[in-house]
Structure formats: C-alpha cells, structure tokens
C-alpha cells in the first residue's frame, strides 16, 4: 500500500472492504442471469425483497426486523397449505411406499417413517425466472432476448448486487466501503445509440452508487461519449507499453483551455479514431480527406495496412490537436506519427489603410506592389511554428512558398493539361479547356487571355501578369491554375476527384499527385 518501494502489505480485512466486479468481453450471461437458482440473481432478489420496509426511514432497525420477520412467518403459514396439499395427494401412495418399510423390518419399536416439511421464501427464489414482457402482455423467456440487451440486464443486476454489498444496514460491518466496476468491451452486441445510453447510465450510477468504473474499449462511440479527462490511452511503442492521459496535456492557460474545449467539441464517432489509429494524417478539408486515400492507393501504399487514418479537422486547427500527441512538450501526450497537410493561403493588406485586414492574394499578385501592400506568402503561422519542432514524429507538409497556395491550385499545377480535373461541377469548363489547349500548343499569353471573358477578374489578372517577375512559361501555368481555382466548388470537386483517381488505370493519362502530398504519404507509411 502506498509507494511500491516501501513494500507495505495491506491486510485481508482492508482488501475485503473493496467490492470489485469484472465483466470480461466474453461472458455467459445466461448462466448467471435467468433463474433464481443462480447466485447473482438470488443475491439480488434477497436484497430487494421487502425493500419498502428496508428503506422506510420512519422505522427503526428493530421495527424493520420485526416487520420482515412477520412477513416471513406469514409466508411460512401460507406455504403450509402447499405442504398440506402435497400430503393429501400422497396419502394413499404413502401407504404403499411405507408398506415396503414394514416388510423389510425397518419399522420397529413402533417407529414409523413419514413426510414433513416447510417452505422458506428464500427457497422459492429458484422458482423465479427472468422474463421480458411487452405492452401487449406477451411474455417471453429472457433467453429469447437479444444478447446485447441481456448484457445490459446482467450489468444492471450486477450493479444492484454491488449496492447490496455496500449496504451497511444489510451487511453491517461486512459491508463494502468502495465499489469498483470493470467492464471489458461493453460495446459488444450494442448498437451505437445503446452504447451512448449505457454510458449515460454508468455516469449517473458513478455519482450515486459505484465509486469508480473502468472500461476497456475499441469503440469510437464509447470514446466519443466519454469526457476527455476520463480517457486513458494504452499504446505500444517499440515493444514498450506506454500510458497517455489526453486530458492532462492541457494546462490552465487561456490558450490550453481554448484548445481543450475545441478538442472536446470536435471528437465524435468519426473523429475518435485519433485515439485508435497508429498514424494520423490531419487535413484542413473534405477535398484532402477524400483524395489522399485514393492517391495513396495509386502510389502503391495502403493506408489501412499501416493503420493510418485521414482526419478532417475542418480548418487550420492543427495546434489544438497536436497538443494531444507532442510528447516533446508534455509526457502525458500520445506518441504516434502525425502528418499535417495544410495550405499556404497567401495574403496581403494595404499599408496606407489604418486597421486594414489581410485579404486573400493570388500567387500571380504576390509581391507585385510592395509600396502599396504588405504581403505574406504563408498566412498559416502553424507552418513556421512546427518547422523548428523538436518532435521527430510530427511533420508539416504544404506547397512551395511563392509558387502555390492551396491543394486544388497545386493539383492543377502538377496536371496543367489534364482535362480529367474539369469535373461536372466545374464552372467555366470551355474556357479552362481552351486555356489548356492553348498551353499545349504553346500559344502566347495574350492568346490565352483572349479565351477569357471580359470583366474585373480578367482586368486584375492582366495587371498581375504585367507586374509579376515570373517567366512566360510559369505565367501560363498560373493563368490556368488561378482560373481553375476560381471555377470550382471544393465539396463537390472532392467527391468527383476521388472517383476519378480511384478509376485510374496504369495505361491512362494519370492524375499526378502533388509533391507535398506524395511526400506526406510516403513518410507516414514508411516502417517505424
């Protein structure tokens, strides 16, 4: 007891004060559940019989004992009619049975065998069977119930037994003082909604009956329903079993409080996989989430085999989540390989305008007017923060600065004449096809601009093309990439691109994977 180095022994009486119940993943509930002859059900029935008397606070202990004794005596008297009924039915037969006794000489000295007996209420517990009854009154044996529901019934009876074991009024000084319930894989045979309901029930029970509950689980539904502070993660790292406490990686600083709240809101059934996967790829949006697994397959990698999950965090919220995994900053973190794929999203703001906000800036316009604008080729501070990160299991992958800006933009740069990227949801389809054809035919920039409809967008592009230091070959690529980026709906495009990539055959004009995506996949899938 206490520090293990002190080697203090705890006495048996103290150990017996703890009520510990363990439910294994493979449990035979039918064996312990359905009839009163089984130990568990018998104990529970015995505890809750005459419960209205046992819990009546208006009565003294002595009055309760007298009242219960009266009920037992009344039951015994009533049971005598059953015994008498048996005696009456055996009257004639008993004569023939006892004739054998006389014939063998067993009856002597006027001693005559007979039958007598009584029935205690506890003896009739075994006559009770657990049934299920619906609102129509139809009754079925509990064995006909689903295994998941019977597991819940079993657990509820077990909790009732633990309540009995902790009752000082019932067991006196032998009552348990600390109740512990351990359940292995409670999700077995329960659909997700029942898992949520079960967890809610356990939380309420922990507050009133069972002092501590341990659950081992591989269920995202269970994990998503549990508070972050209650989660303990066991994982293997180089043949060593390690323990992580996700709730403890956050301190009381305003930044960590904000991060913890965000992570709590974020984790649902689809996101709880961050605790179970061996490797994680964090992405900003749906496009990368859908396309990356397809690119991995096309490159000869299988994310499933490497236990890698692609998690869409819905924006630039990487730092909130990396606190869970950055062991270089907190020993309570979970060490696993993390690849973060993010966009540069260049921006600019006017120098002369007080309080000016950063606005999106195209790659063609970047650093074109340093007198008027302040530029930032990477508006995502997270990229630079983790460039110097000492952790070797967390890496950031993004486009090249001053050459690209988003996933879709980089994708078209690597596939500048690939018409497969012009999907059904793409607007300005003919315009983009003509631009691609003009690029193939090595037409001039002016010829390419002639394919674009007149308007403010075209006017701004013409100005940017005049001011950018890029050579003509690069300018042509960025004309197509910029026009493509302005013509897509990211959500629809993601699904269409994933479908196109999944259909690719080696003989096809392949859609080339952007370099930074390829590097991320290669790194995350390499042996550890």
What are the tens digits of pLDDT across the range 315-342? 889 999 999 999 989 999 999 999 999 9
| Residues of the chain above pLDDT 70, percent | 89
- Tokens of residue 113, six digits: 């065998």
- Residue 377: the pLDDT is 95
DSSP letter string, 245-258:
-GGGG--SSHHHHH
- Residue 171: the pLDDT is 59
- Residue 468: the pLDDT is 95
∠ CA 16-19-23, nearest 5°, is 130
Bridging pattern class, strands 359-360 and 337-341:
unpaired
Of residues 488, 511, 487, the one with CA closest to residue 499:
511
Q: What is the pLDDT of residues 240-294, one digit of tens each?
A: 899 999 999 999 999 999 999 999 988 876 788 899 999 999 999 899 999 999 9
Q: What confidence category does residue 483 fall into, taking pLDDT thresholds of 50, 70 and 90?
A: very high
**Region of poorest pLDDT, from 5-19, 67-81, 84-98, 123-137:** 5-19
Give CA–CA dist 383/516, Å, rounded.
13
Q: Per DSSP, what are the bridge partners of residue 244? A: 233
Give CA–CA dist 49/12, Å, rounded.
31
DSSP letter string, 319-372:
HHHHTTT-TTT-TTS---EEEEE-----EEEESSSTTPPPEE--TTTTTS-TTT
No. of H helices and E strands in the chain? 20, 14
Q: What is the pLDDT of residues 344-368, one digit of tens each?
A: 999 999 999 999 999 999 999 999 9
Q: What confidence category does residue 506 fall into, taking pLDDT thresholds of 50, 70 and 90?
A: low
Q: What is the pTM assigned to this prediction? A: 0.80
463 — alpha (psi -120 to 50), left (phi > 0) or beta? Answer: alpha
* 3-state SS class at 178: strand
DSSP letter string, 447-489:
HHHHTSPPSHHHHHHHHHHHH----HHHHHHHHHHHHHHTT--
Give CA–CA dist 235/214, Å, rounded.
17
- Residue 515: the pLDDT is 97
Q: What is the pLDDT of residues 429-454, one digit of tens each?
A: 999 999 999 999 999 999 999 999 99
When mean pLDDT is compared over 123-137, 198-212, 353-367, 500-514, the highest value belongs to 353-367
Check if the beta carbon of residue 380 is closer than 8 Å to that of residue 344. Answer: yes
Q: What confidence category does residue 508 fall into, taking pLDDT thresholds of 50, 70 and 90?
A: low
Of residues 525, 488, 304, the one with CA closest to residue 409:
488
Q: Which residue has the higher pLDDT, 111 or 474?
A: 474
Q: What is the pLDDT of residues 125-164, one digit of tens each?
A: 777 777 777 778 788 777 777 777 777 777 777 777 777 6
């Amino acid at each position: 007891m206490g520090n293990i180095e002190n080697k203090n022994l705890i006495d048996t009486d103290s150990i017996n004060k703890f009520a510990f119940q363990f439910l294994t993943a493979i449990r035979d509930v039918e064996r312990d559940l359905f009839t009163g002859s089984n130990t568990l059900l018998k104990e529970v029935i015995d505890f809750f019989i005459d419960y209205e008397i046992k819990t009546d606070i208006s009565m003294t202990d002595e009055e309760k004992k007298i009242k219960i004794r009266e009920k037992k005596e009344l039951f015994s008297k009533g049971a005598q009619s059953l015994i008498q009924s048996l005696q009456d039915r055996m009257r004639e037969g008993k004569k023939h049975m006892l004739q054998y006794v006389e014939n063998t000489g067993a009856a002597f000295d006027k001693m005559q065998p007979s039958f007598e007996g009584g029935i205690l209420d506890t003896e009739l517990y075994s006559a009770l069977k657990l049934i299920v009854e619906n609102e129509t009154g139809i009754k079925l044996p509990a064995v006909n119930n689903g295994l998941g529901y019977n597991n819940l019934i079993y657990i509820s009876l077990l909790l009732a037994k633990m309540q009995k074991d902790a009752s000082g009024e019932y067991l006196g000084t032998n009552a348990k003082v600390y109740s512990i319930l351990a359940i292995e894989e409670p999700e077995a045979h329960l659909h997700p909604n029942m898992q949520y309901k079960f967890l809610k029930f356990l939380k309420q029970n922990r507050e009133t009956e069972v002092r501590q509950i341990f659950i081992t689980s591989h269920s995202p539904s269970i994990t998503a329903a549990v508070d972050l502070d209650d989660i303990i993660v066991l994982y293997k790292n180089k043949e060593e079993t390690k323990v992580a406490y996700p709730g403890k990686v956050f301190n009381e600083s305003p930044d960590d409080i904000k991060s913890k709240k965000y992570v709590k809101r974020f984790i649902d059934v689809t996101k709880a996989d961050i605790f179970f996967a061996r490797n994680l790829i964090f992405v900003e949006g749906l496009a990368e989430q859908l396309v990356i697994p397809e690119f991995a397959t096309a490159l000869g990698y299988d994310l499933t085999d490497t236990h890698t999950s692609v998690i869409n965090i819905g924006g630039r919220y990487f730092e909130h989540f990396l606190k869970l995994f950055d062991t270089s900053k907190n020993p309570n973190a979970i060490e696993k390989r993390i690849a973060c794929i993010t966009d540069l999203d260049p921006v600019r703001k006017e120098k002369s305008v007080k309080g000016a906000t950063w606005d999106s800036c195209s790659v063609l316009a970047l650093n074109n007017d340093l007198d008027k604008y302040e530029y930032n080729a990477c508006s995502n501070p997270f990229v630079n923060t983790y460039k110097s990160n000492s952790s070797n299991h967390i890496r950031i992958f993004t486009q090249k600065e001053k050459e690209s800006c988003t996933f879709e933009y980089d994708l078209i740069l690597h596939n500048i004449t690939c018409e497969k990227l012009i999907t059904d949801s793409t607007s300005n389809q003919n315009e983009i096809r003509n631009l691609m054809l003009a690029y193939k035919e090595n037409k001039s920039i002016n010829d390419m601009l002639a394919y674009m409809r007149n308007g403010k967008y075209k006017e701004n592009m013409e100005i940017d093309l005049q001011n950018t230091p890029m050579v003509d070959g690069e300018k042509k690529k960025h004309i197509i990439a910029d026009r493509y980026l302005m013509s897509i709906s990211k959500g629809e495009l993601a699904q269409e691109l994933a479908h196109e990539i999944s259909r690719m055959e080696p003989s096809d004009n392949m859609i080339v994977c952007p370099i930074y995506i390829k590097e991320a996949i290669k790194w995350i899938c390499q042996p550890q």
